[in-house]
Amino acid sequence: MRRLLLALPLLWLPSGAMAQDREETPSTCLAIAERAGVRYASLDAPYRLAARERAEVRITYVHHATYLIESGEGVRVATDYAGFAGEGRVPDVVTMNKAHSTHYTEFPDPGIGTVLRGWNPAGGPAKHNVTVGDVLIRNVPTDINRFGTFEADGNSIFIFEVAGLCIGHLGHLHHRLTEDDYAAIGRLDVLMVPVDGSWTMSQKGMGEIAARLHSSVVLPMHRFRTPIERFLEQIPDFAVDRRAEDSLTLSARTLPKVPTVILLSGV
């Protein structure tokens, strides 16, 4: 069983500036983890929670497994960044996973202030818990089968806490999640899930995760030529919203009333 990640001191990492220690902000997305014998609770003051709930976040599908998350304060975060994050200025933060070269780059733009790798080059699990502006970013390590070689802790599920929302990106997930994994993830209002059904885990397995997390919004990615209907069949109780745009804006107050798969343009 995986052990839950320990919270690390948070860092404020503006682009081009030195890191400075900040008071740690506890996660508002972590649920009660009875099996692990740990209880998580938010210590945020009510006025801070209310401010987050009034905020909005914009999410744009870029390509493959890259989504661009833009916070109310203008922080730009690109997921599974391989060197391209769409139009506009360079992201403030990028996350990367290393299963394939389409999910990371060895040469990130030097203008990116915070680069978070989903693996630990020194060995062992990667451990991230950092704050950039109004975005808290943490990770839950998972294992990968990279070119036929098993590698423990080679992937990370990244979780972005912004605007009162909990947004999770499964990365290049290769296996079912344990109870400890679910406890470490906590609540996810928005789930970014690979649906190729071949290079990552099966569509049935991904559907089980989506159903278990019961996220208000599911954003497919990493699809290749696989018919999206094969994934949708795995979660028949979810509504489906097909969009002509590649972006959507969400807030804690405007989440769908029923769990919904939103298909942005280009997915």
Containing 204, the helix (H) or strand (E) segment is: helix 203-213
Q: Is residue 8 part of a domain?
A: no
User: How far from the centroid of its chain's Cα atoms is residue 219's Cα?
Assistant: 11
Q: Give the separation between CA 60 and CA 247, rounded to whole angstroms.
A: 4
Question: At CA 164, angle to CA 160 and CA 165, rounded to 5?
Answer: 45
In a domain, 20, yes or no: no
Backbone angles phi, psi at 76, to 5 degrees: -110, 125
Residue 14: inside a domain, yes or no? no
Q: Which 3 state secondary structure label does DSSP give 9?
A: coil
| Residues, the chain | 267
For residue 22, tell me if it sits in a domain: no
Residue 212: which CATH number?
A: 3.60.15.10
> CA torsion sign, 169 to 10 to 177 to 81?
positive
> What CA–CA distance (Å, rounded) separates 110 from 108?
6
pLDDT per residue as tens, the chain (267 positions) = 443 333 333 333 333 333 333 455 678 898 433 333 333 333 344 544 555 556 899 999 998 889 999 999 999 999 999 988 888 999 999 999 887 777 779 899 999 999 999 989 888 899 999 999 999 999 999 887 766 677 787 789 999 999 999 999 998 886 788 899 999 999 999 999 988 755 566 677 778 888 899 999 999 987 767 788 888 888 889 999 999 999 999 999 999 999 999 999 989
Provide the residue range defining the domain that includes 48. Answer: 43-263
Who contacts 64 (Cβ-Cβ below 8 Å, separation ≥6)?
80, 82, 102, 103, 221, 222
Is residue 9 domain-resident? Answer: no
How far is the C-alpha of 56 from the C-alpha of 226, rounded, in Å? 32
Integer CA distances (angstroms), 145 to 96, 117, 150, 261, in order: 16, 17, 4, 28
Q: What is the rounded distance in angstroms from the CA atom of residue 124 to the CA atom of residue 199?
A: 23
Find the helix or strand (DSSP H, E) in which 51 lies: helix 46-54
Per-residue pLDDT, 41: 32
In a domain, 28, yes or no: no
Angle at 221 (CA atoms; ends 163, 216), nearest 5 degrees: 40
Any bridge partners for residue 114, and if so which? 93
Residue 75 in contact with residue 133, Cβ under 8 Å?
A: yes
User: Is residue 254 helix, strand or coil?
Assistant: coil
Half-sphere exposure of 260 (CA within 13 A, CB side): 13
Count of structural domains within the chain: 1
Q: Enumerate residues 6+ apart whose C-beta is below 8 A from 134.
A: 52, 55, 71, 72, 73, 75, 162, 163
In a domain, 213, yes or no: yes
Instruction: State the pLDDT at residue 64.
Output: 83
- Is the residue at 228 inside a domain? yes
Distance, CA of 185 to CA of 233 (rounded, Å)? 25
